Amino acid sequence: MTAASGSGEVIATIPVATTREVWRTCTSLLRRRAWLVIAVACAFVVAAAAGLVLPTALGRIVDLATAPSSTDADVWRLGAWMAAGAIVQALATGAGSLGAAALVENLLAELREGLVTSALRLPRRVVERVGTGDLTSRASDDVAQVAAGLPNAIPTVAASGFTLVLTVIALTVLNPWFALVVLTVVPLQVIALRSYLRNAPPIYAAERAAVGVRAHHVLAALRGLPTVQAFGLGAVHSARIGFASWQVVQLSLRARAVVNTFFSRLNTAELVGMSTILVVAFVLVGGDQLTIGGATTAMLLFLQLFGPMMGVLLLIDELQSALASLARIVGVTRMEPGTDDQRRPHGELPVAVSGVRFGYDGAAVLHQVDLRVRAGERVAVVGTSGAGKSTLAALVAGVHAPWSGAVSVSDAAHARTVLISQEVHVFAGTVRDNLTLGRPEATDTEIRAALGAVGATDEVAALPHGLDTEVGPHAHTLTVAQAQLVALARAHLADPELVLLDEATAEAGSAHGAMLDRAADAVMSERAALIIAHRLDQAVRADRVVVMADGRVVEEGPHDELVAAGGAYAELWSAWQRHRP
């Protein structure tokens, strides 16, 4: 799917599930807990039956007040029935609500787990195409909408549904004419509901999609904040966010107008029903077909009937937003997980790139690129910004599939490849958790050996609690250099066959450059390695240097030979020597 942004660009989005897919998912979740569904239903049936005692007893008391043969004992007996009915109704409602809460919370937990599991299995190329804003809004805003709307749904529907059925039966037994009164109200409510269901769902769905577009623009601005500030693009991004926010506001106002119209029609139906009940009761009492107590019971039953009816109809409004969000969540869970690895296995060399052509949005970035990396060989790829270096690394990592040509890797490299980019993410958890992501079974001895190999022992020891230090957004904040050391130690601990460094030490600053270069050397030692070099002193230590320009390989060879040849690499090296930090 796609969504339009304020700038006129078209943003790809993750699919939204159809209504049938949503109900199929919900039915499947409920079927696994059939015993709990039955228990909740039984509790609410008992509560609905007990709820009929009060209006019936009150009507009987009215008749007793005018009956000469009535005694105080009759009134006390009815009072006892009313108290017993109220107690049973309260206990049954409480039991049903507790069971419904347990049911709903289990459903929400499974939905959240399914969303996260499916999102983590999405290929990186899919996430990059749709942007993280849509996925983030589904994992946060949409989950919150479902969590807010779903807990009330099951108890309200169950309690209201059984109360409606039993109350209509009681009114029919009291006098069939009262059942006809209900039939006069139902058409008005059906008209109101049909109009609402025709207008509300598309608005709520559009509102949730607009929230996703807004999140996309907000995240894009925040993640690229240094670039936004450097180029003075704040006003442009603010305008995009403002436009997206105004779209959300407009849709929210439209939804509120539809809801207000819906409520006014429901109130009209209630007024018509109460007026009709009074007229019918007046006629029946005047014709001696009904007592005043019976008329009282009828009105009380109708009021009790209309409460659940309003409850169900009002719940429909709450559910519209929740169902729109649920459709977006189910849309993620129903996506094919696919695979992130687009490479061909069973290659003879750790890496063999043959005649590869690739690009983005129809614009080619790489043109007939050939590259070989032998076992134990360290190859550095250099070139100016936009030459296609990072794109080549993504292809070698298997993130993208080439338009033409092939990227082949050995079986060992296919199973054990580590890519370390310049954007190192620190996951919420302990330092130990961050280090063992690629090898959860690693012992503390192996962890410390990996830290020692990359020279990070002292850095970790200096943290407040060493390996047990909680790090992440809401805990201890690692410096850029510390985060890159953790990433390099994690790569070393994973024992990869192929190491891909995409400017992995470029963001730490010159003060830590030497330390991180030594750590990277340890990770690449005796392993096949492809380095996307930001600093040319990284290329000096490589076995071979590949020079790229405009998406093509223009030179290739050892550092000394390329410098002596006086070509493109020699020019880059000369410029680096003059301006090196």
Q: List the single range of 184-188, 253-257, 353-357, 435-439 with lowest mean pLDDT.
A: 184-188
Answering whether pTM is above 0.85, one says no
Q: Give Cβ neighbours of residue 477 (< 8 Å, ≥ 6 apart).
A: 471
pLDDT at res. 298: 77
pLDDT higher than threshold 60 for residue 9: no
pLDDT at res. 557: 92
Closest by Cα among 104, 315, 286, 290 to 193: 315
Task: Convert 155-164 to b/e letters by CB count within 10 Å (16 or more is b).
Answer: bbbbbbbbbb
pLDDT higher than threshold 50 for residue 218: yes
pLDDT band at residue 212, thresholds of 50, 70 and 90?
confident
Q: Would you call 397 exposed, middle or buried from its count of C-beta atoms within 10 A (0-12, 13-18, 19+)? A: buried
The share of the chain scoring above pLDDT 70, in percent, equals: 88
pLDDT band at residue 545, thresholds of 50, 70 and 90?
very high
Q: List the single range of 91-95, 444-448, 514-518, 539-543 with lowest mean pLDDT.
A: 514-518
Closest by Cα among 389, 427, 355 to 504: 389
Q: Which residue has tokens 């109220």?
A: 86
d(CA 207, CA 131): 18
The residue with greater pLDDT, 435 or 308, is 435
pLDDT band at residue 378, thresholds of 50, 70 and 90?
very high
pLDDT higher than threshold 60 for residue 5: no
Helix axes 292-333, 53-66, angle to 10 degrees: 170
Pairing of strands 417-421, 363-373: unpaired
Hey, what's the torsion of the CAs at 361, 365, 369, 375, to 10 degrees? -90
pLDDT at res. 276: 81
Give the residue-averaged pLDDT of 1-13: 43
Span(s) in the chain for CATH 3.40.50.300: 351-579
pLDDT at res. 129: 65
d(CA 110, CA 23): 15
Give pLDDT tens digits for 41-65: 888 888 888 887 877 777 777 777 7
pLDDT at res. 2: 43
**Residues 350, 373 contacting (CB under 8 angstroms):** yes
**Residues 435, 492 contacting (CB under 8 angstroms):** no
pLDDT at res. 3: 45
Span(s) in the chain for CATH 1.20.1560.10: 2-333
Closest by Cα among 169, 266, 183, 213 to 14: 213
pLDDT at res. 10: 37
Closest by Cα among 395, 399, 405 to 354: 405
186 CB-side CA count, 13 A: 9
Q: How many Cβ atoms from other residues are within 10 Å of residue 556's Cβ?
A: 18
Q: How many residues does the chain have?
A: 581
Give the residue-averaged pLDDT of 327-338: 77
Would you state the CATH architecture of domain 2-333?
Up-down Bundle (1.20)
Q: List the single range of 138-142, 169-173, 317-321 with lowest mean pLDDT.
A: 317-321
Six-digit token pair at 370? 């050939």
Give pLDDT tens digits for 389-415: 888 988 888 888 888 998 888 888 878
Secondary structure class of 367 (helix, strand, coil): strand
pLDDT higher than threshold 90 for residue 330: no
Three-state secondary structure of 191-219: HHHHHHHHHHHHHHHHHHHHHHHHHHHHH
pLDDT at res. 371: 92
**Residues 392, 548 contacting (CB under 8 angstroms):** yes
pLDDT at res. 530: 92
pLDDT band at residue 314, thresholds of 50, 70 and 90?
low
pLDDT at res. 369: 92
pLDDT at res. 11: 39
pLDDT higher than threshold 70 for residue 363: yes
Q: Give the H/E segment covering residue 43.
A: helix 34-50
Residue 500, strand partner residues: 419, 530
Six-digit token pair at 313? 């109809």
pLDDT, the chain, mean: 81
Q: How many Cβ atoms from other residues are within 10 Å of residue 285's Cβ?
A: 15
Three-state secondary structure of 412-428: HHHHCEEEEECCCCCCC
Q: How many Cβ atoms from other residues are within 10 Å of residue 49's Cβ?
A: 17
**With respect to CATH, is domain 351-579 assigned 3.40.50.300?**
yes
Secondary structure class of 475 (helix, strand, coil): coil
